[in-house]
A and B are shown apart, each in its own frame.
Chain A
């Protein structure tokens, strides 16, 4: 049932100094160790992970290209019917499609939509998952059992089928797409957050907050969630590729983003239809999409290793 079974334990304060920095017997002022926050430790671990760094850099480059690039390239809509589909050349780096539109700028524009869907839908999933998991874990008891039972049952439902139905019946609206995908992807987040909340619930600082008479909402959102940010960030990074994959899956079936807008899924669908004559229409969008998923997964794995005490010890 629960196939995602990583329980990430994060330290409140990272106490383990790295082995090459054993405190000397006599402490001179220069040698006084400054404290390392959890984030500082995680950052230095992350920087050592080449694949994660590669993923991060690729994502930044791709993000910048898709974000700013379209202002400088040819318009993605400019048609040139006389030109038609041409293979990659100096004028059109990645070639043109059957309507003579520049593929490079189309990929950049498509990327905007794909990334936007990925971010917004993940945010929806994040908002639902964190709130649900936090409430369930914080209150515990019967409410917790009931809420988690619902999650268990929903895990077993064929959600992709429902998303397809939603998209077919209620028009292929991009906002609906955000919510439909977000509503599917929150379950695992809820489980992870609940587990984390349950482990920190009994800690002294939460008791102190209670003793000070803070409200439950304030304790959850102001004191608990900031302390479990690590696992939340890790899992968010791993949700984005899943969301983008679902969007592309829907677009490939013709149910996702609609023309004149395009996304990577739409470009791949078009490319697959015309690949017999024009291979570049499939290979480049598919390549960029796969590269993005790669980078996100590597970065997510790297973050998990960097923030996870268990794995950083061995």
Chain B
């Protein structure tokens, strides 16, 4: 177990290095720089700007400079927001995005596991059909349709909630519900499948034969095995929720890092793009590793494969 964790941790380093290097050079080889904006600047000012940000140095020097400061945890200055560093911007915006992501994940897990378990326990009843078909709807109605529809219904028609913004707790409801619903649908399907498989196994019959109550059988005995597919989905699921927040933050005008990333890419704010890509990539790769470890911890069979 420890060896496995250590080996996987070592693997993360080259993966991250490839991501950083690829993004760095991809950005540099694109036509147009951060200062070729709407208003043209005179050549002298351009030269000064480039010298200030070190863009006049040869590319390999820029690369090593960047990698050097990255090792010290410094992501450099932003090109588009004068006097602000990328670290500051990320520190500013990341908490919002993380909050959105975590609440949505919680919504997805609670909703998905409840619906999926209900559907599996009451297999082939109207309750199962209801849960299964609402899961299918959740998968097929993408966030960028569901979100505006929620706004249209609850904010514009009934006027219960704000259409956009991120101030009070009630502003969390619509965005987190939108982002959570889609993943709740996937999780419900996986839970149903996993639970159905487990509920047919001998050890469940044994538990029932020993007189364990239905609730105890489902929650104590079946769930541990039945939720394995959900755990393995969490890796891609978390990545999806993180990138899905780009759209959610645009729809609900939430000042998070996702919207900042899309804007910075449009603005060619090199350092901000690099910084956010590195951050997202690290988050996703590390969370994937955590999911892998949890999976093996829960299911010792996997160790031997």
Please list the residues of chain A having a beta carbon within 8 angstroms of any beta carbon in chain B.
1-3, 5, 153, 155-158, 160-161, 164-165, 168-170, 241, 245, 248-249, 252-253, 265, 268-269, 271-272, 275-276, 279, 282-283, 286, 289-290, 293-294, 297-298
Contact = CB atoms under 8 A, between A and B. Distances in A.
A3 B151 contact: no
Q: Which 7 A-B pairs have the closest CB atoms?
A: A286-B145, A169-B30, A272-B148, A293-B140, A168-B265, A160-B243, A252-B144
Contacts of B15: 153, 156-157
Given A165-B277, A252-B144, A282 B149 contact: yes
Contact of A297 (B139, B149, B156, B251): B139
Interface stretch (B34-42, B52-60, B228-236): B228-236
Given A3-B235, A3-B236, A282-B152, A248 B136 contact: no
B246 interface: yes
A298 B136 CA distance: 9
Given A272-B148, A275-B151, A165 B265 contact: yes
Contacts of B232: 1-3, 5
A268 B288 contact: no
B257 to A, nearest CB: 12
A235 to B, nearest CB: 16
11 contacts: A155-B236, A156-B284, A157-B15, A157-B19, A158-B277, A276-B152, A282-B148, A286-B148, A289-B145, A290-B140, A294-B137
Q: Classify the secondary structure of A's interface with B.
A: helix
A183 to B, nearest CB: 13
Given A290-B140, A294-B140, A253 B148 contact: no
A81 B273 CA distance: 40
Contacts of A165: 23, 26-27, 265, 273, 277
Given A158-B284, A253-B250, A1 B292 contact: yes
A249 B247 contact: yes
Contacts of A160: 239, 243
Contacts of B242: 158
Contacts of A245: 142
Nearest to B286: A156
B266 interface: yes
A161 B261 CA distance: 9
A156 B12 CA distance: 10
A253 B246 contact: yes
Interface string B11-23: 1000100010001
A245 B232 CA distance: 22
A65 B27 CA distance: 41
B144 A269 contact: yes
Nearest to A251: B144
B90 interface: no
Contact of B27 (A158, A164, A169, A298): A169
A155 B236 CA distance: 8
Contacts of A155: 236
A275 B156 CA distance: 9
Contacts, number: 116
B266 A168 contact: yes
A286 B201 CA distance: 42
B228 to A, nearest CB: 10
Contacts of A169: 26-27, 30, 265, 268
A294 B134 CA distance: 12
Nearest to A244: B142
B26 A275 contact: no
B288 A1 contact: yes
Interface string B216-253: 00000000000001001101100100110011001100
A158 to B, nearest CB: 5
Contacts of A170: 30
A124 B261 CA distance: 28
Contacts of B284: 156-158
Contacts of A298: 136
Given A157-B19, A297-B139, 14 more contacts: A1-B291, A3-B232, A3-B235, A5-B232, A153-B15, A156-B288, A157-B285, A168-B266, A265-B144, A268-B144, A275-B151, A276-B152, A290-B141, A290-B142
B142 A272 contact: no
A286 B285 contact: no
Nearest to B251: A272
B156 A276 contact: yes
Contacts of B246: 164, 253
B247 A297 contact: no
Interface in B267-305: 268, 273, 277, 280-281, 284-285, 288, 291-292, 295
B140 A297 contact: yes
A248 B141 CA distance: 12
B262 interface: yes
Contact of B285 (A3, A156, A268): A156
Contacts of A164: 246, 261-262, 265
A160 to B, nearest CB: 4
A11 to B, nearest CB: 22
